[in-house]
Structure 1
Amino acid sequence: MNKIIRTPYVSFRPHTIRPKFSEQLPCDDRLAQRVAQPLFDAGVVIAAITERRNYDSGLKPRPYHDLRLLLQGEMRVEMGGRTYDLEPGDLMACPTGTPLRCSAGRKGTRYLYFFIEDRSDWEPLKKHGDYVRSFESAPVLFLLLRDTLDAMASHQPDTIRRAWQNSRMLIDLLRLEMGRGGSKRSEEGSALNRLVDDVTAAPQKPWDRQNMAARLHLSVSQLTRLFNQELGVSPRELVIRQRMQLATQELLNTNRKIESIAAELGYASFHSFTRLFTRHVGIPPGQYRARYRHPSLPASTPRSSEQSASAPASSTPRMRLRKISCLR
């Protein structure tokens, strides 16, 4: 079966035949543990991509934190005394113990979800409470989980190694979102969220810790502490991860030289860029391009930096984090 899976963000040609209705990474499955142990170490009970028709979960509190990202179709959510009609790209976060009901009609709905244990390291989820919002990193979340599920299906050593890296990046992405907590933020948290949004939107800019701290009216040490407390990463690490995400998109979507991609992302040294890319993605950029660019997806022509920076996430069927800059 060689069909193309389409979402609002990506067109994806499966390498393997997949179940029609649901694919799961459950914590009690030995193969899933081999493929995605970092997910389970972080408290994830199950991660899945599923499709439902004529679906009604019933209104009841959940024993786990429940995170869902709508990929296709529609879904109605009753949560915390409010009703939401989700659209593709919307993320729902429901802390443990909150009454939740999800439903879909006969046309069906396709979504991914995570059930997460009620642990202290996921406390921000409970602090911010339930919410629904449009999730700008939806393509990344989908592709990281998609690739991890493929690794479970393939049983190949190289894909399993990559799946471990993807699992870590999934946890990083979820922790980043949980630290931001939808729209329920203090004044300081709102300012931090705006800063993170700007870094995410244009990581290729020359961000540095001093300017970031000044923007929040904090010292550099206070900024670092705030990032670690709310997001689980340092300012420098956030920028690097967003750069590496943009790098993977450029490697798979364009014919640009790696040196050009590195320079646009703020790295004057090609070797420094290659070292960081290998540390975050698992293999050097040249190998990544050769291995993961699908032969049925023709390489696009080189793009200008303006085109690259402004291209919507929906045009890039890629895997990883987001864009760049150079924190020292």
Structure 2
Amino acid sequence: MPGRRYNLPDRLNHSVIDLDSLSRLLTLYPLQTALTIRCHFGAPWQLQVADAGPGRAPWHLVVAGAGWLEMPDGTRVALQAGDAVLFPHGRAHRIVAGDGAPAPSRKVQAPHLLIETNDGTGPASDILCGELRFGPEAEPLLRTLPETVLVRTAGEPALASLQALIALLQQEAQGERPGTAAILAQLSSALFALLLRGWLEQSGTQGLLAVLAEPRLQAALHAMLAEPQRSWNLEGLAALCHMSRATFARLFGEVAGTPPAEVLTQLRMAQAARLLLQGGLGTAQVGEQVGYQSEAAFSRVFKRHHGVGPGEYRRSARSANP
């Protein structure tokens, strides 16, 4: 008899997102967000973005106007005011609007960001552009995201926080008042969390992040995040979720796309990377903090996940950020 299938909903309810676990995840995977360019165009216009390279993920906020997002494979997606789009893997893309050749554009360096305008006489568009910057320790989280993360905020009361953030970014990007640079930096740093939360609420997805949106599994994920050093097993995690071992394993595998043990290892290695970068603990101590009594076993698993051993990982991070 075939096993029961657990389907993710096409649309997730705001109330089921485990915000505490989301906060813990974002703490484990350090990211920086920066607003770099404000584009104010009249149609026809074109915004071309090349492959961003390792550690960089471009994003755009459509504050006003509309356009088409075009990918190298020919995919086209309509964008409108209120849309936020992120490219977690730094994929090349362009956004266009209007017919005919794009009007020539020019860039002016303002005190806090670059301003790009053109002489197009068609419908105006206002787009805020920036990028997410991250080190190798954040790659396990970014790998769970698709090539394009699109969140549509227009007419979505549940996304009021993201709408308000976009409005504040636009307001600060227009001015040159005291404190603008600091305010833009703080607002930008909150963008990824709100964008990710909005995407989870709008998308049926699979992976580590999908577990955040599955109420029946949240207790298990929360426990693994809170105490990664514990020797969690299927029976213990299933009991937290009030399920049988078999039912829990089946549901978790379908939602996360990987067994609970693999998710626990991912979380442990993310925490270990964070502790190594913080300093103050030796390799064996870091291993103990994430559930490994054997330094050799910890080093072996760490190298499998990060490509280098704990010592080399720490040295590389120090040389990159002296």
The TM-score normalised by the length of structure 1 is 0.46
The TM-score normalised by the length of structure 2 is 0.47
Higher relative CO (Cα under 8 Å, sequence separation at least 6) belongs to 2
